[in-house]
Every structure is written in structure tokens, then in C-alpha cells.
Structure 1
């Protein structure tokens, strides 16, 4: 393989890492698979795709060795859902938190998770109303089905 092939494979791999969805179509220019990313269909080889995680890293000075990179998951950079913020019980201190068993915290969060999944399914269903792209409709239905499977597994 040539260096160009290796670079193209790295670009395609990076697109997968940052959450792009590989499509069945290929680029007319270079033949690489097309991706859907942030609502756009693009070629990772021909289009310049910026990794959103790169903007989160603080700039390092040349005199200091760079610190090990820590990846921030997409879940961590989103806002906290309302259901996760609203609590009927007061927050506990960090000392008390160590004494709370994991099973009780997991069982207490199941209703919140169910509420979030139901809200997401309703949101997906409403987004489907105006959608004409068969692939996106299929994606919406797949996501709704996954939410329902998760809810069934929790019961």
C-alpha cells in the first residue's frame, strides 16, 4: 500500500471514530465510502472534516511535553437532561455517597432512564413526520426499536 492509501484509510477511520455513519454510496471523485456526519453527506478523503474533539484539547506549549490526551465522550459534552437534575430527595455529600450501594442507585435511576427513553422515542417519532428520505426513516425506526428493547430489558 502506498502512503496515500494509508492516509485515506486513516481519514476514513477518523470519520468512524468521531461518529460518522458509513453509507453504501461511494465518492465519485476518489471512490471512498461516503459518510453521514452532523446531518451532511460527505467524503472523508475529499472533504476536510474537522474532529470536534480537537477543539476541546488545550493548546500545549512547545517547551512542555504534551500531557496524555483524554477523550471526552459525546455524552459528557451535552447538557444534563432535566430528568437527571430534578430529584425528589436531597443530594448527598461525597462522604455519604461511598456508603450508598450501587444496586439502590441503579434501581432508583431506572424510572428516570425510562422517562428519557420515552421522550427520545416521541422526539424521533415527531421528526419522522416531515422526513422523506427512506434511509433516515429507517434510522429513526431502528432507534425507536432499540429504545423499546432497552426498556424491555430493564423490566
Structure 2
């Protein structure tokens, strides 16, 4: 690769906001950090020996800490599973295990409600189940983004994370209303 091409690539990386690092690759070109990835402008690949440099020591997560985070995520999911939702899951498994013919009076009541423009009881239960699943997923994502917010150093990424967190909080607030 010619020197002009290398300089053009380096210029493009700098224009995109990439950071030139003090270390260099085997080819002699300086390495750049672009959106969390370490790249070489000449070879255009991520070196595994350099990928350890992607996270400063303060951001490095040990295996034990990862296990604790996984455990806390599991606990968070259990906390947000409401008793009524557990009951719904239990009812569903009971119904699938037993082959009981539906009660005709229940069908008549549901058809009357459907004709009157009201949602059926099954629709309401299904809606609440989906709503609870959505709330749990949003809370899980909120927890993940909050954890990554603590370790983030890049101001652009911080702004994007905060925007995402703000949007998540708005959606959660609208769900609770």
C-alpha cells in the first residue's frame, strides 16, 4: 500500500472521530480506537493481542464479577415476575396438561362480551401477560444500560446511553399509567 493511501485512511479515521493510540501494529502504522474497536489503517483488522487494550483496567470485568452480574440479572427477572403472572403461567400449564372441554356457559359469556365490543377475559389476561413481559424486558435493558453507563468514558457514547435511558423511562412511565 502506498504512503498516500495510508495517509488518506488515517485522515478518514481522524475525521470520523477515531483516536490515534500510542501503540502501533507490526506493519508500522499507528493503531486507532474507533467506536470501541482497535483498527489498523493499513491492515484493517482487529488484532486479538490489542483487543485487551480496548478496556482500561478500571473497565475490565473479572469472571467472578460477570457471574455476579448474571446472578443479579436473574434476581431482577424474578423480582419483576409478579404473583399474578406466575398464576397465569401455572393456569396455562394446568390447562395444557388436562384435556377438559370448555364450559359452554363461558363461551356464551365471551361471545356476548365480544358482540358488545368489550374484550374477552382471555384477551385481557393475554394483554396483561404481554404488558408484564414488556415491562420486564424494559427493566432488564434499563439495568444493563445503567451498568454500562458507569464504566463508559466516551462522551458520545454517554450521551447515546443517556438518551436511551430517558426513552426507556418514558415508556415505563407510560406503561404504569
With the shorter chain as reference, the TM-score category is 0.3 to 0.5
State the TM-score, normalizing by the size of structure 1: 0.39
Which of the pair is proportionally richer in helix?
Answer: 2
